[in-house]
Amino acid sequence: MTTRYLEIRQGVLSKNDRLAAELRERFARAGLLVANLVSSPGAGKTALLERLLAELRAAGWRVAAVVGDLQTDNDARRLARSGAPVRQITTDGMCHLEVDLVTDKLADWDLGALDFLFIENVGNLVCPTWYDLGEDVRMVLLSVTEGEDKPLKYPVMFNSSDVAVITKLDLAAACECDLAAMRENIRSVQPNARIFETSARTGAGLSELIGFLVQQRQAKRNGQ
C-alpha cells in the first residue's frame, strides 16, 4: 500500500512539474513576474495582497491576482475592490493549488498586458510546499501572532521559499513577539531568504517589499 501511494504521489508531482515548466515559459514570454503567496490560515495574505495590488496600481503597474480557497469567493471579492483583475479558484476541500487549476483560470487572459501576477495559495504550510505553480518568487508569510518558532515547525515550506514576509507588525508589541528570534529561526532553515517586516494596517515595510518585487521583474526582463 505504501509503495503504491508513493508511486501515485510521484506521478502526480511529475505531471505538476511538467505543467509548471510549461506555464513558467508562458510567463517568461509575457515578461510577467509571478509571486506565489503561501502561509497558514489567518497570517494576513489577503490583507497584504490588497495593499500590494492597490499600491502597485497607483504606481502605474498592471497587476492581477488568482485566489485559492477551499470554499467561498470572499477573498476574491475583497481583492477586486482594488480595481485589479481577480479570479477565484475554489478547491472544494483540496488543501493546496495545483498548476492545472491555475492554468485553467489563465486560459483566456492576455498575460502580456500584465506586469505582476499574484497567486494567493490555500492557507496551509504543508501541502503547497510540493506544488510548483510556475512562479518566479515564492513568498511565505508569517504573522507575529503565530509564534517565533513557526519556521522550525514547518522547515520545508520556509526552506522552499525565496522570501519570508513577517506580517501584522503593528501587533508585535502586544503579542510580545521576539522579532529577532523570528528572523533567526527563518534564517536557520533558509539562510538565503529575503526577510521583510510588514503591516498591511499601517503600511510599514510595504515600500521595501514592492521595491524588491519591481527589482525582480526588471531582472527577469533583462534575463538575469
What gap in Å lies between CA 138 and CA 157, rounded to an integer?
Answer: 10
Q: How far is residue 144's CA from residue 176's CA, in Å, rounded to a whole number? A: 9
Mean per-residue pLDDT, 129-155: 97
Residue 38 and residue 128 in contact, taking contact as beta carbons nearer than 8 Å: yes
* Span between the terminal Cα atoms of the chain, in Å: 45
List pLDDT tens digits, range 29-76.
999 999 999 999 999 999 999 999 999 999 999 999 999 988 888 889
Give CA–CA dist 48/167, Å, rounded: 8
For 198-208, the pLDDT digits (tens) are: 999 999 999 99
Task: Tell me if 86 sits within 8 A of 65, measured CB to CB.
Answer: yes
Contact 4, 83 (CB under 8 A): no
The position carrying cell 532553515 is 189
Dump pLDDT digits (tens) for 65-121.
999 988 888 889 999 999 999 999 998 878 899 999 999 999 999 999 999 999 999
SS3 content of the chain, % helix, strand, coil (to 5): 45, 15, 35
All structural domains of the chain, each given as residue ranges with its CATH number in brackets, are: 2-221 (3.40.50.300)
Instruction: Name the grid cell of 12.
Output: 502526480
Grid cell, residue 29, equals: 514570454
